[in-house]
Amino acid sequence: MLWSVWWAWIGGAIALVILEILAPGYIFLGFAIGATAVGVLLALGASVGLPMLLVIFGAVSLGSWLVLRMAFGVRKGQTKKWDTDINEM
């Protein structure tokens, strides 16, 4: 299967990095890091089934996204905080 070869995961990671360059936001970069981790794991010779590969991919992607979010923070102007209500006048 294509899911069990390392180069498919690395190719997917490269595609996600290119997508991140075209649409920056540190979302696709987290998925790319997860795909790279699974690709490296398979390249090292791990024999893991598809469900476990998807769990590893999801966990590493979520962890890397959280780290990227803490490192780079929220972009200025991304969220709007309202201090007053229009009906309080």
Output the tens digit of pLDDT for each of the chain's 89 residues: 888 899 999 999 999 999 999 987 778 999 999 999 999 999 999 888 999 999 999 999 999 999 988 887 766 666 666 677 777 66
* Predicted pLDDT at 34: 96
Structural tokens at position 62: 């979520």
71-80 contacts at long range (C-beta below 8 A, 24 or more positions apart) = 72/26
